[in-house]
């Protein structure tokens, strides 16, 4: 019997393989949206794991902050820079990675960037200089941040619009749950092996993710022959790649995009404000929690994220399908925004409950109810707005998500610096109340998007080029 070499073991029609496609068990195909359901689930799993890596790495040192202060005889502010510079790298780098992935493919960019991150985190682990650790934490972030934007592009490559909401819900769950699981793992490693173990663990984890990408993530970007760009000299290619991200910032001039990004980013920054204050709250009287116990407190948020991810993505897809049925199959991404109302109330309520119950030093479990509600609301919001941002400019999903990462991580970096100072000066209750007020006021951005949606749709002349 003759084997048909146009099909791989997963029964998908193959496209001609390049060197970078070897070792992958799922072949690159002409139409990535025709991958089997099983293949798509595998691809989403790998992308979610990749998206999880950078936020996880950003927070894994939280339980080790006091040890780093003692180790390097420095201040809390100096040690906090290890997270601040990481978030800055996480904000900026995806702009370049999304452009490079469009030029060279999703798969090689993900693998190469993660290997860069592995090298950087190993340098951090063996370093005896805090400034050197800070510099290479930035490089680590530049590497592992690629999945933040490229991952959204992969999902857009393999799913039709009415199926993307659920897939993006899982993808975004990886980006949000990382900062919450990291302190649990980091606290355990800190107690058992010391702060360097956190960084060595991160090197192993990032390398394993890169290898899983090699084995299980096929190239999903398929360009028509007509789109092949003319060959450039090395210097011309470097100049093109260096300047390409700046053109992506123009998406922030589209009102519906910048308003949606602003709302999500304020809520996301509140997450990092919460993350940085919880260790201080639960290590003090009357709780006196250990590093491991503090890490376990983040489970409450994780439960909220898991529920919000599943429910939010399905609500978003269902709303879009409902619109299609009444509009002759037309797809209008902004329809998804109408499901954001399910989560907007939980975010400020959760922050206020957590902040004031911690302030009043109630039974340790009570404030975590607020943390659960905050996590539930944040995921319901993001699993609605994320697919909207991926679809709103056809073909430019990765670039719009890169803009989102820029804004939200810059605000989160500010939050990690300001939050401990604010909590120390005005207390947890008032600080969380201020954040709740900001999140509540930011809902007006979404109100404007919904209110002006029809007008903007008629006048829309925005950029339509690919990522």
Q: What pLDDT digit, counting tens, does each position of 175-205 carry?
A: 777 877 888 888 888 888 888 999 999 999 9
Q: Tell me whether the omega of the peptide bond preceding residue 384 falls within 30 degrees of 0, making it cis.
A: no
Q: Residue 7 domain-assigned?
A: no
Residue 67 · residue 194 · CB < 8 Å: yes
- 53 part of a folded domain: yes
Does 22 reside within a domain? no
pLDDT tens string 309-358: 888 878 888 888 888 787 777 777 777 888 889 999 999 999 999 999 99
Give the tokens for residue 134.
């800070």
Domain count across the chain = 1
Question: How many other β-carbons are positioned within 10 Å of the β-carbon of residue 234?
Answer: 7
User: If we measure between CA atoms, which residue out of 385, 392, 383 comes closest to residue 313?
Assistant: 383
261-288 confidence digits (pLDDT tens): 999 999 989 988 888 788 878 888 898 8
The tens digit of pLDDT for each residue in 426-441 reads 999 999 999 999 999 9
Spell out the residues 6+ positions from residue 225 whose beta carbon is closer than 8 angstroms to its own.
none
Q: Is residue 384 part of a domain?
A: yes
pTM given for the model: 0.76
Residue 237: inside a domain: no
Q: Looking at per-residue confidence, does 437 or 292 come out higher?
A: 437
Q: Are 350 and 330 within 8 A, CB to CB?
A: no
Q: Which domain holds residue 259?
A: 36-221+248-456
Is residue 149 domain-resident? yes
Q: Pick the more confident residue, 15 or 76.
A: 76
Q: Domain of 127: which CATH number?
A: 1.20.1250.20
Instruction: Say if 443 falls within a structural domain.
Output: yes
Domain contains 346: yes
């Amino acid at each position: 019997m003759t084997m048909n070499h146009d099909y791989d073991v997963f029964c998908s029609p193959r496209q001609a393989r390049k060197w970078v496609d070897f070792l992958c068990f799922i072949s690159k195909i002409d139409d990535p949206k025709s991958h089997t359901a099983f293949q798509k689930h595998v691809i989403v799993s790998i992308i979610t794991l990749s998206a999880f890596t950078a936020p996880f790495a950003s927070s894994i040192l939280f339980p080790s902050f006091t040890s780093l202060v003692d180790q390097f005889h420095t201040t809390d502010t100096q040690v906090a820079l290890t997270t601040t510079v990481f978030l800055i790298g996480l904000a900026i780098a995806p702009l370049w990675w999304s452009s490079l992935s469009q030029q060279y493919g999703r798969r090689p960019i993900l693998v190469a960037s993660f290997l860069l991150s592995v090298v950087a985190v190993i340098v951090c682990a063996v370093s005896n200089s805090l400034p050197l650790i800070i510099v290479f934490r930035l490089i680590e972030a530049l590497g592992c941040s690629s999945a933040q934007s490229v991952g959204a592009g992969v999902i857009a490559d393999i799913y039709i619009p009415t199926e993307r909401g659920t897939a993006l819900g899982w993808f975004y769950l990886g980006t949000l749950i990382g900062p919450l699981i990291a302190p649990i793992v980091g606290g355990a490693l800190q107690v058992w092996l010391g702060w360097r173990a956190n960084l060595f663990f991160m090197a192993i984890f990032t390398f394993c993710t890169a290898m899983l990408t090699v084995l299980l993530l096929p190239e999903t970007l398929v360009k028509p022959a007509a789109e092949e760009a003319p060959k450039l000299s090395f210097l011309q290619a470097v100049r093109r790649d260096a300047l390409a991200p700046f053109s992506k910032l123009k998406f922030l001039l589209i009102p519906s995009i910048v308003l949606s990004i602003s709302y999500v980013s304020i809520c996301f920054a509140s997450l990092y404000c919460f993350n940085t204050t919880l260790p201080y709250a639960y290590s003090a009287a009357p709780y006196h929690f250990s590093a491991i116990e503090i890490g376990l407190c983040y489970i409450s948020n994780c439960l909220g994220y898991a529920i919000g991810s599943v429910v939010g993505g399905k609500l978003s897809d269902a709303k879009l399908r409902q619109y299609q049925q009444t509009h002759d199959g037309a797809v209008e991404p902004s329809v998804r925004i109408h499901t954001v109302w399910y989560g907007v109330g939980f975010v400020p309520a959760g922050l206020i409950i957590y902040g004031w119950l911690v302030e009043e030093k109630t039974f340790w479990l009570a404030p975590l109810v607020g943390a659960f509600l905050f996590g539930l609301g944040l995921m319901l919001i993001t699993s609605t707005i994320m697919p909207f941002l991926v679809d709103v400019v056809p073909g430019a999903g990765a670039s719009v998500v890169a803009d989102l990462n820029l804004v939200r991580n810059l605000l989160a970096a500010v939050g990690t610096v300001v939050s401990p100072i604010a909590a120390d000066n005005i207390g947890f209750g008032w600080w969380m109340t201020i954040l709740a007020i900001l999140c509540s006021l930011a809902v007006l951005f979404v109100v404007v998007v919904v209110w002006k949606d029809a007008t903007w749709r008629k006048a829309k002349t925005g950029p339509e080029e690919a990522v």
